[in-house]
Structure 1
């Protein structure tokens, strides 16, 4: 029992803490922009299901903490349609009911009767809040630890690997990939991981010479504490920088914010590239994570941070920085997922509002209903796929004959 409780503290508690924090910021984005536009709001809930805690403020907004801590929502007054985009008939019925209950003109305070650009901004504010949160966390992170650049120096080349066939040698310094300059080892790793089966042209500094080498990344199975068991593309290089390959500088808040924005841009770009490669069959989707995978990652970074041999206050500080970085990355992921053009997500609502802005009328109810059902099926399928990935990474299917 003690071991189980210890595992729960390491994996579940950090996951729920980070997820709740990020969801709260996401919903606050919707809430604050809606409040700025004068929208009447019934409820702000963190978590689903019955309320553990509930309080209604002087504006009539119920602030609720649900017992299922895996999401949250903002409920606008009159928001009865599951897709939150009623058609013309639904708007007429809602308007009649609002006027009958609250008097003429009261409908102007309801979300569905706001101009389409205001509704779009309210919906977009949730994902935007996630990106702003990530930017703020990265600003804090880079302000505290500064910027350390580790040059991509080759330490060893695996025999028989694509890198060996390409002619890489120890102490080679990679300066560009496919003509794109690289400064950090992490840049090279990121490019290789998303290029399985695609030849990559490396520009290498070898002593006084500049050499062009071509290697094609191949997938291999790897296991680590954070990601679990995954198949990732590698070319067979071990990057091991020399003393002169390290550089460090402290960043002021403006520089730290700029660095944070750059990291967000690179992360979003890599995410969409990875998703695109899944659709064209170039990636298996192994790196997609569901709740179990995120919880495992949260536990992994927690264990790594607390394994540092140092004074308790140093360990606590290192753990805090690690969770800040983890929360920033998860927040970016939540922002990206919510912008996908699936009707049950914010991105799907934005598609509906785009149609309304052009056609001057809401999307017909039948189209919305079909879109909602298809979107729900797509989202459920994505979650099942991600959860299957999570279970395989945790090696829970080994008894089935090596599926993991």
Structure 2
């Protein structure tokens, strides 16, 4: 219920304000608006105010503003001056651009609001490197401080992760680091065109690298799990498994996952005394693969984790300036991503749909209002930029039509526009189908 509610609130806010951008500029330009709808389908709630019918419809995947337009039926003679298609191209461009621009402005406001209450940044450090992962094969070591990705300086973990993922599928990625001993080094990720690169999108961008660390101490033992049956308790410290020392919690996780229904000879410390136990991970199946599970949770390395976190409270002006920068940066990354999709340098698996948005909406809402507001800002950027793409059906496609009309001093032929709309509609249906497929594969696969 929390996930559904968080998703519906997000759609209600973002779609309503996007369409309100179209609506308010249409009114300023003297265009008569017949209907303002949030959602598609037959409205279940209507209210008429003035000339406009305000509606809520059951399919929460968008909305629309219906204006007087002679192309959509007969228009009363007295309404002709207020018809959208009878306006100057400059007015049409302003009305169409208002929706996406509202989303971008909204993102700045959301980010600024969140940042004004304090910003928590994660410094670009490698805390945990999972064995046999992409990061491990590239040579990353715990304690590495990441300085740049393909020559571009990074200031926090978010920048680092985004730049690595965005560049990884299109070619080699050189990550400049300063090691724990202070030496300069380069970690090279070179998996472009391999199955490993394709798996990253399905694993939420996981390359086996995290800024945080866990200790080898057990924080929690699941009731009825294999670990409890073996006698392990919270506070125990894992030392070795199958005669080999454990260098980190990730080592233990990898071993357990690969040992379904197989005995593990475990050595651990309890109260400073070395003890032994035999743990037999239970087998679980997910995504067509079988893995082991014992029911242990690690105690975080609080000193390290506190060290990589940095929190500060900017002034209101600084917060909204940071919000503008964040919006501009994500806009650039979104456009760059679409460019890489078109050139085949990015996997189609990265495309997400409403199910993933709903899932993330629920998770960010559980983390607190700031996380949820920043999620709204990010989705608002995505909506704004996607709608500005020059694809018929989208706002960007209409902007192209009206720009050409302004230059040529006459509208494009109706046949050309209809053909463009059919192509655009086909592209959007393909995109939505792919997004739903990725959602289902990612969430339930």
- The verdict on a shared fold, with TM-score over 0.5 as the criterion, is yes
| Structure 1 residue corresponding to 2:63, chosen from 67, 72, 75 | 72
| Structure 2 residue corresponding to 1:361, chosen from 410, 419, 440 | 410
* 1:210 counterpart = 2:209: no
1:160: how far off?
4.4
- Cα 1:338/1:175, change in 2 over 3 Å: same
Partner of 2:6: 14
| Cα deviations by residue, 1:314-351 (Å, 9 ceiling, x for unpaired) | xxxx2x32321222122112112211222111111001
- Cα 1:324/1:163, change in 2 over 3 Å: closer
The SS at the match of 1:363 is coil
| Cα deviations by residue, 1:135-171 (Å, 9 ceiling, x for unpaired) | 1111110011x22332212224444455445544332
1:375: how far off?
0.9
Conserved? CA contact 2:211–2:308, under 8 Å: no
| Cα deviations by residue, 1:80-133 (Å, 9 ceiling, x for unpaired) | 44xxxxxxxxxxxx8xx65x732xxx5332222221111101100000111111
| Structure 2 residue corresponding to 1:340, chosen from 370, 386, 389 | 389
TM-score of the superposed pair, with normalisation by structure 2:
0.72
Distance in 2, matches of 1:53 and 1:151, equals: 48
1:372-387 → structure 2 map (5 Å cutoff):
372-387=421-436
- Cα 1:335/1:154, change in 2 over 3 Å: same
1:373: how far off?
0.8
1:195: how far off?
2.1
- Cα 1:64/1:162, change in 2 over 3 Å: closer
Distance in 1, matches of 2:389 and 2:70, equals: 22
Answer with 65-74 or 39-48: which moved more. Answer: 65-74
Conserved? CA contact 1:220–1:233, under 8 Å: no
Partner of 1:87: none
1:97-116 → structure 2 map (5 Å cutoff):
101-102=77-78, 107-116=80-89
- Unaligned 5+ segments in structure 1 are 1-8, 82-93, 306-317, 396-403
The SS at the match of 1:50 is coil
Moved beyond 6 Å, runs of 4+: none
Distance in 2, matches of 1:243 and 1:391, equals: 36
TM-score of the superposed pair, with normalisation by structure 1:
0.79
1:371: how far off?
0.7
Conserved? CA contact 1:339–1:346, under 8 Å: yes
1:287: how far off?
2.1
Distance in 1, matches of 2:34 and 2:378, equals: 31
- Provide the aligned C-alpha RMSD in A: 2.5
Partner of 1:88: none
- In the comparison of the two structures, how many residue pairs are matched? 348
Select the structure of larger CA radius of gyration.
Answer: 2
| Structure 2 residue corresponding to 1:138, chosen from 91, 95, 111 | 111
